A and B are shown apart, each in its own frame.
Chain A
């Protein structure tokens, strides 16, 4: 099945810094989503971005489907950005709704 790798696994920043999280996937995808998992465990949708670039406030994401990677940019980070960020994909082979998740990036933003 499709493999999803996220890097870095851990990231520690000072408030105000910028960061880039990367997601590599091993096969063509129909769906790619970025999530932020809050301290209570809920996955919060950040972007639905199987291709192209999107921006939402301080966050933006780019997916280059032909090269099989996606990037999540966080600018001017805040302590509330702390948590685990997941990339998840649905491969073209399986389609449907079966998301395959990466292992996540644990982000810590210090004041």
Chain B
């Protein structure tokens, strides 16, 4: 079974431009989450989508947005790029939205699987 795929793998943009990153989840997974990794802030949650709806959002400005399509593929967009947006952007997929939680200590938990990331450099 193919893993999570992300395109492009590398991207160089200049300040003020916008960028769109793409993520295809593991076949059968409907939830896609996005994370940003920087040396200063570590790994931070951006947002999660399933069933084409944003379910959860991290503490990022409105310049960061996303969407999900009916085939569960997701895109994230960053507008008016700033130098500080240079980062590794990772997406993850899980069975949330596909498999119902049946309770227990691990209830509500869904293992997440990450893609290889898109490394964005803003000049």
Residues of A within 8 A of B (CB): 30-31, 33, 35, 40-43, 45, 48, 50-51, 65, 86, 88, 90, 92, 94-101, 103-104
Inter-subunit contact A101/B58 (CB<8 Å): no
Main secondary structure of the interface of B (DSSP, over half): strand
B107 interfacial by beta-carbon distance below 8 Å: yes
Shortest A93–chain B CB gap in Å is: 11
Q: Which of B43, B48, B55, B92 has the most CB of A within 10 A?
A: B43
In the docked arrangement, what's the CA distance between A90 and B106, Å?
Answer: 10
Beyond A43-B90, A98-B33, A99-B35, is A90–B42 a contact (Cβ under 8 Å)?
no
In the docked arrangement, what's the CA distance between A65 and B31, Å?
Answer: 25
Size category of the B interface is 20 to 34
Give every chain A residue within 8 A of B114 (Cβ-Cβ).
35, 42-43, 45
B24 interfacial by beta-carbon distance below 8 Å: no
B81 interfacial by beta-carbon distance below 8 Å: no
Can you name 13 A-B residue pairings with CB atoms under 8 Å? Answer: A30-B109, A31-B112, A42-B114, A42-B117, A43-B90, A50-B105, A96-B55, A97-B55, A98-B33, A99-B35, A99-B43, A101-B42, A104-B42
Inter-subunit contact B43/A50 (CB<8 Å): no
Inter-subunit contact B107/A30 (CB<8 Å): yes
Inter-subunit contact A103/B111 (CB<8 Å): no
Closest 10 interchain pairs by CB?
A31-B109, A101-B43, A43-B114, A48-B111, A30-B109, A50-B106, A30-B108, A95-B108, A42-B116, A41-B117
